A and B are shown apart, each in its own frame.
Chain A
Amino acid sequence: MRIGVDVGGTNTDAVLMRGDKVLASCKKPTTSNVSDGIVAAIETVLGTSSVPASDVRAVMIGTTHFTNAFVERRNLLDVGVLRVALPAARGIPPLIDWPEAFLAEIGSHCEMVTGGYHFDGRLNAAMDERAVAAAARTFQDKGIRSVAVTGLFSPVNPSMEERAAEILRQEMGDDVAITLSHEIGRIGLLERENATVMNACLVDMSRQVVASFRHALKTLGITAPFYISQNDGTLMDSGMVERYPVLTFASGPTNSMRGAAYLSGLQEALVADIGGTTTDIGMLCKGFPRESSVTVDIGGVRTNFRMPDILALGLGGGSLVREQGSGITIGPRSVGYQLTQKALVFGGDTLTASDIAVAAGYADFGDATRVRHLSADLIEQSVVEIHRKIAEGIDRMKVSAELVPLVLVGGGSVLVDRDIPGVSEVVTPNHAGVANAIGASIAQVSGEIDRVFSYEELGREAALATATEEAVKRARHGGADPETIKVIDIEELPLAYVPGGAVRLRVKVAGALAFDQEQP
């Protein structure tokens, strides 16, 4: 038995799963201290299914808490930024491109020391261990308790970052929080360093949040371990979340897409998660969301870490419908969470996309008599506009010209009732409203490699084999059952302007949690 929880900005959803069966699900309001909402939601699913807490083998939680805290700059720590890269990259000191508002919160405590590797793993400069120790003492004197360490080409060879961490602990004590960049980001020094600093400023909060989750489960009598989902749809154990909260960024859309894959049984499909204000459209490849290949700005800070490739359209159940000239516009403005007061069918005075779905006869909620006055022409034009918007979003996200199925999840999925061009079939599975919590409950453990290989020296096959083997090793280390580990993504980018067949190779694998071998 597993429990999946999704803590969103508005609702906290929970599902109780046995094997691949959904035994119970519910939606509760999110509370300001997060854990009360989680307790309420889990109590409800356990209560309605009469399952004792002791039968729960694992709890998986998806949360947007850390993303919101960062963007809103709430409770961020001062961060010691240590870069092991000199003499390289002195021309771009750390934090160079951060908005002032963030620097006011986290400070500008940057130390650069000698060390690092080349792109192919050769030593570029030995690490100046004395300088690392001196930097540690400087941080210590400033009262800093969280340090972000970024080493030159550490995704290729992490040893120097690991050694730096040892020295920092020796100088600053074992309770100093240390974030190592190779655990977070990819090649691209500044972007990886930014993500590392983001993480470092959140570690205090992550300890508190993990403690509050732990407390919530204890209150419920659940002794099973809990996991938190990452933005790539895989899991971290609680110890990992305490150290790497930044990896939860953007896990919300990922969870709903993974849930959609699970509920529909489709591995290659488009998913549209239609909410009250927006529709998130993504593409499932081998059951996982396709990742974005471009750098992502979060709160105005540039990063390069793993993010799902999601197109957000300003269209949802609460979108305002307005007549403009001879045409109709729908969204991006929405009544949002006030849908049940403001929409016409709920007795309000605002024409929304939900009212159109009721008037057109393909949704049945609220009071249909309150939309009887709408002209057939207005209804038809609006229905066409809703489908046109979704069709355009879908067309943008497709990865090939072939027809693919479309899975609809989220409360707003009633808006779609007609065929969509480019789509082979439209699937709305059961439990579509809690797809995100289900996505969290089925999350797997992953391992990833991002490194430059010489195809001319090694050959492509050998390079792929080496990279895959190391990725598998990482997944096993994270707790994946070796029997279930599969390759889910391979990306090969030949390095431009370099002879010798140098290729940047990224391999990602994932497998089920090793202990999660329960009988249905």
Chain B
Amino acid sequence: MKLSVEDLQDVGRGAAFLGTGGGGDPYIGRMLATHAIREYGMPEIIDVEALDDDAAVYTIAMLGAPTVLAEKAACGDDVDLALSRMEKYTGRKADAIIPIEIGGVNSMLPIMAAARTGLPLVDADGMGRAFPEIQMVSFNIYGVSCTPLVMTDEHLNSLVVETGHAKRAEDLERVASIEMGCSVILSSYPMTGRQVKETAVRQTMTLALEIGRAIRRGRRADNPVGELSRYLATTPYYSHCRVLFDGKVVDLRRETTQGFARGHCTLQALDGGAGEMEVIFQNEHLIAREDGRVRAMVPDLICMVDSDTAEPVPVEALKYGQRLKVMGVSAPPILRTPEALEIIGPQAFGLNETFVPVEEL
């Protein structure tokens, strides 16, 4: 499969949906990918099964604040450098690139990287959505080492982190990224083709593209949310998909604790009914409760979309009076195992809940 510049708009919208409120606005990423494609041509998207077992597969992502990325966008050479440094440390030339995170802006940087290098892009990622920290990926959960991890900036400074623990790598790179200007390029989790097959969330680039297409198709037929739900129901992992609530934002509170913006968004039913839904977010949406009863929780996806257009609404853009549909979508099984829940379940985010799948709530 090849991606065209026109497809990027659909991928971006799909990625914003999978960002579950966070992950950063894909727009700047889309522009970076657009320019790279115009300059270098379209990247090839390959299925996980097309990888040789001993292929060398590297991730590419941006790390930092999406607000800063929107000003200090990548230069391109920083992306190339991250890959070449990784090749130097592993001693293996890259055979393919894989996104670490399909939700939000990080869906786009690997497309840029693949276009620039001519390497194929693997149709899979490590989250199947967006998460805030680098240990919160399926690669880590199933035993791939996060390091060596390479960070580069636009001055072509580079930094290599080596540690046995992904969470430790997260703490180190987060501090360094601030010194480097709060928006840097990252390559981590160097993998073999076999490891990708064992640990990745599959076909998520296709998923983002098809979500975007379904919304666009739905708008022409005046039923974008319906069309989106219909598409998700046909996918292998995201098939349990329901509109949990249809209402309008009546309260919005934000507070910053330990560097994370925790927010509470309360919606009231439109039909004048008494029902209320509260969604708690910390970069991404964590839990949705209707009249105190849990309706969906992380790692399942809680997505807020505009009631009429199904446009995904990121937490930065939430405001009073918006009419939104809150959708609950099942996370892939690989993110719901006991070992996964330890790292990306509700308790990993400080919620005092035991995970129950959205289809059982």
Contact = CB atoms under 8 A, between A and B. Distances in A.
Interface of A: 85-93, 96-97, 116, 118-119, 124-125, 152-153, 187-191, 293-294, 302, 395-401, 455, 493-504
B178 interface: yes
Interface in B151-196: 154-156, 174, 178, 181-182
Contact of B316 (A302, A496, A502): A496
B32 A124 contact: no
Contacts of B68: 119, 495
Nearest to A155: B71
Given A92-B31, A119-B65, A499-B258, A398 B182 contact: no
B309 to A, nearest CB: 13
Contacts of B65: 119, 495-498, 502
Contacts of A90: 75-77, 154
Interface residues of B, number: 47
Nearest to A97: B31
Contacts of A86: 75
B135 to A, nearest CB: 14
8 contacts: A87-B154, A87-B156, A89-B71, A191-B70, A293-B319, A499-B258, A499-B259, A500-B259
A89 B259 contact: no
A496 B261 contact: yes
B250 interface: yes
Interface string B33-62: 011100000000000000000000000000
Nearest to A493: B316
A363 to B, nearest CB: 30
B35 A119 contact: no
A89 B323 contact: no
B24 interface: yes
Nearest to B258: A499
Contacts of A118: 72, 181-182
B349 interface: no
B317 interface: yes
Contact of A496 (B72, B73, B77, B283): B283
A91 B76 contact: yes
A398 B320 contact: yes
Contacts of A294: 317
B71 A92 contact: no
A498 B182 contact: yes
B72 A89 contact: yes
Contacts of B283: 496-497
Nearest to A156: B71
Nearest to B315: A496
A97 B5 CA distance: 12
B254 interface: yes
A233 B250 CA distance: 28
Chain A binding site: helix, strand, loop or mixed by DSSP?
loop
A190 B31 contact: yes
Contacts of A499: 174, 178, 258-259
A119 B182 contact: yes
Nearest to B73: A89
Contact of A153 (B22, B72, B254): B72
Given A88-B154, A119-B71, A187-B70, A498 B178 contact: yes
Nearest to B182: A119
A90 B154 CA distance: 9
A446 B57 CA distance: 54
B235 interface: no
A92 B72 contact: no
B298 to A, nearest CB: 16
A494 B254 CA distance: 9
Contacts of B72: 85, 88-89, 116, 118-119, 124, 152-153, 189
Contacts of A293: 317, 319
A494 B66 CA distance: 12
A152 B73 CA distance: 10
A293 B320 CA distance: 12
Contact of B321 (A92, A96, A152, A397): A397
A268 to B, nearest CB: 14
A401 B178 contact: no
Contacts of A495: 65, 67-68, 182
B29 to A, nearest CB: 10
B71 A91 contact: no
A188 B77 contact: no
Contacts of B254: 494
Interface string B7-20: 00000000000000
Nearest to B132: A497
Given A91-B74, A494-B254, A496-B283, 8 more contacts: A87-B156, A90-B154, A92-B28, A124-B181, A398-B320, A495-B67, A497-B283, A498-B182
B234 interface: no
Given A87-B77, A190-B28, A398 B321 contact: yes
A494 B73 contact: no
B256 A96 contact: no
B155 A125 contact: yes
A497 to B, nearest CB: 6
B32 A91 contact: yes
B259 A92 contact: no
A87 B71 contact: no
B64 interface: yes
A460 to B, nearest CB: 10
A496 B263 CA distance: 11
Interface in B79-111: 79
Nearest to A392: B323
A124 B316 CA distance: 27
A213 B174 CA distance: 55
B112 interface: yes
Given A91-B74, A91-B75, A396 B317 contact: no
A396 B75 contact: no
Which residue, B34, B283, B316, has most C-beta atoms of chain A within 10 A? Answer: B316
Which residue, A125, A187, A493, A498, has most C-beta atoms of chain B within 10 A? Answer: A498
Enumerate the 8 nearest inter-chain pairs by beta-carbon distance, A residue then B residue, closest first: A499-B259, A90-B75, A494-B261, A89-B73, A87-B154, A494-B256, A91-B76, A495-B65
A255 B64 CA distance: 40
Given A97-B31, A494-B261, A88 B73 contact: yes
A71 B227 CA distance: 34
A270 B34 CA distance: 41
Nearest to A302: B27
Contacts of A87: 75, 77, 154-156
Nearest to B71: A189
A399 B251 CA distance: 9
B32 A496 contact: no
A429 to B, nearest CB: 25
A455 B74 CA distance: 27
A496 B66 contact: yes
Contacts of A92: 28, 31-32, 35, 73
Interface in B300-340: 315-317, 319-321, 323
A91 B112 contact: yes
A498 B64 contact: yes
A500 B178 contact: yes
Given A90-B75, A119-B71, A395 B321 contact: yes
A499 B256 CA distance: 9
Contacts of B259: 498-501
A513 B316 CA distance: 35
B157 to A, nearest CB: 11
B256 A501 contact: yes
B31 A119 contact: no
A91 B174 contact: no
